[in-house]
Amino acid sequence: MNSVVNLSLAKRSQVGDIAFIDLAAQQRRIRPAIEKRLQAVLDHGRYIAGPEIEELEEALAARTGAKTVTACASGTAALIIPLLARGIGKGDAVFVPAFTYNATANAILLTGGTPVFVDIDPATFNMDANDLERRIAAVRKEGKLQPAAIIPVDLFGSPADYRAIGKIAEREELFMLADGAQSFGGKLDGKEIGNLAPATATSFFPGKGLGAYGEGGAIFSQSMLDRERWASIRWHGTDEARKDSVRVGFNGRMDSFQAAVLLEKLSIFDDELAARRRIAEEYDARLGNIGRPQVNIPGAVSGHGYYSLCIENRDAVVHKLGDLGVPTAIYYSTPLHLMPAFADYAPANGLPQTERIASEIFALPVHPYLTPQQVDYICAAVHEAAS
């Protein structure tokens, strides 16, 4: 790619409109196959619990190395179900980073647990294992809550430090549930997201790397023992015959149409992931001197759910990029502990690294249908906006 782009109106016209996420281009690529899949659902008429659900679960397990996969209604449901199965409830402390989407904390509160917010590492943007240890010790010392679980988040697709956090979870006898909502396709030490924690939740929201045409999620387990209980909870807590309630549950099912869409998208996922990776590498090489990109821990490979960059004059840069025709997004301008819904759980002294990163971060397009010319233009536009 060219190192310099003329940002004249003529050049902008040549690169065309730049989408932040381009689901339309993806659909054009696979629409006939998607329509065939959807037609099959219409033909068999099993709109709930159709054969596509089991086919998707088996395909996801085969890809990730998970012992079992349970498809469910959303990424939030994928967090709630394992917490319910584990018995998380009143008086239980669940440790979670404050730099994530609100669904992670909502899932804890909806099961009756109490979120304990943990600061992040300023390079990886993921949970700081050292701060996690301090928070666990503080909760034990205070004695009001019982430490019960940890939810590391693979922010923007980059795997959390499961080596360090896993050791802490084992030593402290805490349940570890990974929030892999943005990281499907990522790896750590050669192992896929979905096979790095006892339980892993992911989301198939349309804008994810692997997204449905509606809501959807899945839970990955390293133990076959989880399968029966998770499947029961997603179906109102019923038994295998789906008649008697044997535990508390809710309607957490995925419908057959979404599984059909995901199966077809899964067939092109690796190709799309490779394209996102190439774009992210280009950004790292060309923008790392004017901003701070996310750093992966050694041995980690990102799933590149999003590409984010930190820069001190973020708001001015984002405004200028908009004028230049480059779409951006900010994940997340307000950390969870500073939101009204979670204010009661905010640490007394705040979370300094989380708050600093939240004031500097913004995301650039990294979808696989960006042209080389558009990537070139985006890089040059960031240089101009930051100058």
Dihedral sign of CA atoms 263, 264, 269, 270 in order: positive
Query: With bands split at pLDDT 50, 70 and 90, how would you rate the model's confidence at 9?
Result: low
Query: With bands split at pLDDT 50, 70 and 90, how would you rate the model's confidence at 241?
Result: confident
Residues 6+ apart with CB under 8 A from 156: 125, 182, 294, 302, 304, 305, 306, 307, 308, 331, 363
CATH number at residue 305: 3.90.1150.10
Provide mean pLDDT across the span 352-356: 98
Identify the domain boundary among 266, 300, 335. 266
- pLDDT (0 to 100) of residue 198: 98
Kindly state whether residues 219 and 77 are assigned to the same domain.
yes
CATH number at residue 201: 3.40.640.10
Kindly state whether residues 280 and 373 are assigned to the same domain.
yes
Q: Is residue 3 part of a domain?
A: no
Q: Is residue 2 part of a domain?
A: no
Closest-CA residue to 119 (of 359, 358, 361, 351): 351
* Peptide bond connecting 332 to the previous residue in cis, omega within 30 degrees of 0: yes
Kindly state whether residues 307 and 256 are assigned to the same domain.
no
- The answer to whether residues 135 and 93 touch, using CB atoms and an 8 Å cutoff, is no
Provide mean pLDDT across the span 99-128: 98
In the chain, the amino acid numbered 312 is: E
Kindly state whether residues 262 and 272 are assigned to the same domain.
no
- The answer to whether residues 155 and 126 touch, using CB atoms and an 8 Å cutoff, is yes
Provide mean pLDDT across the span 149-153: 98
Provide mean pLDDT across the span 372-379: 96
Query: With bands split at pLDDT 50, 70 and 90, how would you rate the model's confidence at 7?
Result: low
Segment 24-83, tens digit of pLDDT: 999 999 999 999 999 999 999 999 999 999 999 999 999 999 999 999 999 999 999 999
Kindly state whether residues 275 and 214 are assigned to the same domain.
no
Closest-CA residue to 313 (of 377, 255, 281, 360): 360
Kindly state whether residues 17 and 81 are assigned to the same domain.
no
Q: Is residue 1 part of a domain?
A: no
Q: What is the DSSP string of 271-326?
A: HHHHHHHHHHHHHHHHHTTTSEE--PPTTEE---S-EEEE-TTHHHHHHHHHHTT-
Kindly state whether residues 250 and 276 are assigned to the same domain.
no
Kindly state whether residues 324 and 364 are assigned to the same domain.
yes
Task: Give the domain range for residue 303.
Answer: 9-22+268-386
Q: Is residue 146 part of a domain?
A: yes
Closest-CA residue to 273 (of 209, 181, 193, 182): 209
Q: Is residue 4 part of a domain?
A: no
Q: Is residue 40 part of a domain?
A: yes
Segment 242-265, tens digit of pLDDT: 889 999 999 999 999 999 999 999
Query: With bands split at pLDDT 50, 70 and 90, how would you rate the model's confidence at 13?
Result: confident
Identify the domain boundary among 247, 266, 285. 266
Kindly state whether residues 188 and 66 are assigned to the same domain.
yes
Segment 196-210, tens digit of pLDDT: 999 999 999 999 999
Kindly state whether residues 282 and 248 are assigned to the same domain.
no
Identify the domain boundary among 212, 238, 266. 266
Query: With bands split at pLDDT 50, 70 and 90, how would you rate the model's confidence at 339?
Result: very high
The whole-angstrom separation of Cα 44 and Cα 14 is: 47
Which position has the higher pLDDT, 308 or 5? 308
Kindly state whether residues 182 and 210 are assigned to the same domain.
yes
Kindly state whether residues 224 and 297 are assigned to the same domain.
no
Per the document, the length of the chain is 387
- pLDDT (0 to 100) of residue 334: 98
In the chain, how many domains are there?
2
Q: Is the pLDDT of residue 2 over 60?
A: no
Helical packing angle, 23-44 and 51-64, nearest 10°: 130
Q: What torsion do the CA atoms of 187, 190, 191, 192 make, to the nearest 10 degrees?
A: 40
- pLDDT (0 to 100) of residue 4: 44
Q: Is the pLDDT of residue 5 over 60?
A: no
Question: CA angle, corner 279, sides to 274 and 206, nearest 5?
Answer: 70
